Amino acid sequence: MNLHMNLAENSYDIIIEPGASKRAGELLNLDRKVLIVTDEGVPHEYAEALALKCREPVIVTVPSGEDSKSIRVWEELLQTMLRHGFKRTDAAAAVGGGVVGDLTGFAAASFMRGIDFYNLPTTVLSQVDSSIGGKTAVNFGGIKNIVGAFYQPKRVIVDTGYLSSLPRRQIANGLFEALKMAACFDPKLFELFEREDPFTHLQEIIEASLEIKKKVVEQDEKESGIRKALNFGHTIGHGIESFEELHGLYHGECVALGMIPMCSEKVRRRLIPALQKLGFPEAGGLDREKILQAMTHDKKAVEGGITCVLVDEIGSFRLEKLELSELAERLNATLF
């Protein structure tokens, strides 16, 4: 299945097909210098296979984990491109999860005011969500995604073959983000999570999620309206994630926890069993006050409250500004 992201001059194709990365030579323009960025946890043969198809590949392997989304590592990528004499007509390609994608996309956006960027996502999270839509960023000053750019890729290859090496908990991590999209936009996809074993329906879930995200991004590329719904679970999720080093939760798991206080009782009764089926993380050990504190650093925080995404009925959402006191109450009532 292919999707076409319609964004005027920033339009691009998303190729979704098991084994599609083997056709990278025909799908991408690799007859130039290509900076291939991957991380230490991604099987190295994925980047090497792509390099074999490039005229002048330069592979950079960054440490795995959120710490690589930093100004320091971003600068390393820019230094590498300078050292190898990259020009504006050259390209960068991400072969990895959301961390590598966000980092490489931002390096591509900023080098010589923008070189071509290809994304080959290798985690479920990046395949269902982060690889399309053009949000690129690094973390800075202890705040997630605070320095970045909207910069669309030139093409995205979603090869579910990459997922064969991905541990089950990482698969679940991405499925939480897919469930988030289903909760806001697609009751049928939500039912699939309830009825079936989601781990055996990955291709279907990835395709459905990308269709949702494509439609959302096409309507609201720069997140001034409907795209905010994709932040369902993220206000509290980011608050929890700020203390990631304390409890080792993954991004999708933090989002999963963050969705629970943000829905109606009726939705919660369906959401919690669906989350549990995926291997839902325990909220135990989290510090409510620290989460609330971190949420006020969230870039979406505004005076007089935080605009949150609330889900009252599966397949719909509303935006509402909540005072910190109400957020605290919701956390108390549902997570603590």
Ligand X SMILES: NC(=O)c1ccc[n+]([C@@H]2O[C@H](COP(=O)([O-])OP(=O)(O)OC[C@H]3O[C@@H](n4cnc5c(N)ncnc54)[C@H](O)[C@@H]3O)[C@@H](O)[C@H]2O)c1
Catalytic residue list: 113, 135, 177, 213, 223, 227, 231, 234, 238, 251
Least distance in Å: CB of 63 to ligand X? 9
Q: Which stretch binds ligand X (CB under 6 A): 35-43, 153-161, 311-319, 327-335?
A: 35-43
Least distance in Å: CB of 85 to ligand X? 29
- Residue 246, phi then psi, degrees to nearest 5: -80, -30
Least distance in Å: CB of 332 to ligand X? 27
Q: Which of 172, 251, 330, 335 binds ligand X (CB under 6 A)?
A: 251
Site size with ligand X, rule: CB under 6 A: 30
Which parts of 49-68 interact with ligand X (CB under 6 A)? 64-66
Q: Which of 42, 59, 73, 192 binds ligand X (CB under 6 A)?
A: 42
Q: CA geometry: angle at 241 spanning 149 and 178, to 5°?
A: 70
- Cβ distance to ligand X smaller for residue 21 or 328: 21
- Cβ distance to ligand X smaller for residue 232 or 250: 250
For residue 36 the two structure tokens come to 């291939």
Going by C-alpha positions, the residue among 36, 80, 40 that lies closest to residue 54 is 36
Q: Which of 5, 16, 21, 41 binds ligand X (CB under 6 A)?
A: 41
Report yes or no: 233 and 262 within 8 Å, Cβ to Cβ.
yes
Q: CA geometry: angle at 56 spanning 3 and 127, to 5°?
A: 25
Least distance in Å: CB of 106 to ligand X? 10
Q: CA geometry: angle at 176 spanning 170 and 182, to 5°?
A: 145
Dmax (CA) of the chain: 58
Which parts of 74-103 interact with ligand X (CB under 6 A)? 96-100, 102
Contacts of 317 (CB under 8 A, 6+ apart): 183, 184, 185, 229, 232, 309, 310, 311
- Cβ distance to ligand X smaller for residue 215 or 270: 215
Report yes or no: 324 and 302 within 8 Å, Cβ to Cβ.
no
Which parts of 112-171 interact with ligand X (CB under 6 A)? 122-123, 125-126, 129-130, 133, 135, 145, 162, 165-166, 170
Going by C-alpha positions, the residue among 192, 190, 172 that lies closest to residue 180 is 190
Least distance in Å: CB of 323 to ligand X? 26
- Cβ distance to ligand X smaller for residue 145 or 203: 145
* Residue written as token pair 């991604």: 42
Helix (H, G, I), strand (E, B) or coil at 253: helix
Going by C-alpha positions, the residue among 61, 65, 87, 90 that lies closest to residue 76 is 61
CA distance 197 to 156: 27
Report yes or no: 97 and 125 within 8 Å, Cβ to Cβ.
yes
- Cβ distance to ligand X smaller for residue 99 or 327: 99
Q: Does 110 bind ligand X (CB under 6 A)?
A: no
Which parts of 188-247 interact with ligand X (CB under 6 A)? none
Least distance in Å: CB of 154 to ligand X? 16
- Cβ distance to ligand X smaller for residue 166 or 267: 166
Residues in the site for ligand X, rule: CB under 6 A?
Answer: 39, 41-43, 64-66, 69, 96-100, 102, 122-123, 125-126, 129-130, 133, 135, 145, 162, 165-166, 170, 173, 250-251
